[in-house]
Every structure is written in C-alpha cells, then in structure tokens.
Amino acid sequence: MKEYIAYCGLNCETCEARLATMKNDDALREKVAKRWSELNGVEITSEMINCVGCRIDGVKTPYCESLCPIRQCALSKRVETCGSCAEVLTCEKAGVILKNNEEARRNIGL
C-alpha cells in the first residue's frame, strides 16, 4: 500500500495541503484555507494548512489530526486502511468518501 494513500483511500500525495507543506508555499496555504473555509462554513487559517499525509508520522491539519472520524476509527481499529476493515462495505463514515469516489475505492483494494 502506498504510504500516501489515506485510510479512506484518498491520495494525500495530490492534496494541496500536503503540497503546500512540502513546498513551504504560503500562497498555496492561503488559497487552500480560503477555499476550505468557504466549502466547510468555518474559519480555516493558512496556519492550519500543514500536513504530511494521513498515515505518515508528522504534522496534520487540525481536521485530519483529531476531527476526521474515518482516521480516528482506523487508528482505533489499527487497520492499514479502511479496505482492511471487515465493516468497510457498510460503514457510514467511510461511505461518505467511498460511495462516490472510484479512485479511493481502488486505492484501498475495493
């Protein structure tokens, strides 16, 4: 399993928050913070846009670190990804991503 595949199957390697972190790109952090604030209806600052990847040790956005229910569930179950969980096909948490994202399903072997 590629280390940049998140528990839910999204590809962290292409995530703009990760790209901004890896390139130390403050302009991209501002862009991402603005877009994510609009999409989520909450204030997200550019200082929050720091992440190395969901399953990689290191800095995470506040959402990915402690609010993402998918990541928290996978960590508690100690699975490599949701694809390793016996409940993945009926999981409401993972279903939010997996129902409409064929690439995510493929990334975790579904």
Q: pLDDT, tens digit, for every residue of 4-17?
A: 999 999 999 999 99
Asked if 52 and 60 count as a contact pair (C-beta separation under 8 A), the reply is yes
Where are the chain's structural domains?
Answer: 12-107
Q: pTM, whole model, 2 decimals? A: 0.85
Q: What is the pLDDT of residue 34?
A: 96
Question: What is the rounded average pLDDT of the residues 76-89?
Answer: 95
Per-residue pLDDT band at 85 (split at 50, 70, 90): very high
Contacts of 103 (CB under 8 A, 6+ apart): 9, 11
Say whether 98 sits in a helix, a strand or coil: helix
Residues 71-81 have pLDDT tens digits of 999 999 999 99
Q: Is the dihedral of CA 64, 11, 2, 99 positive or negative?
A: positive
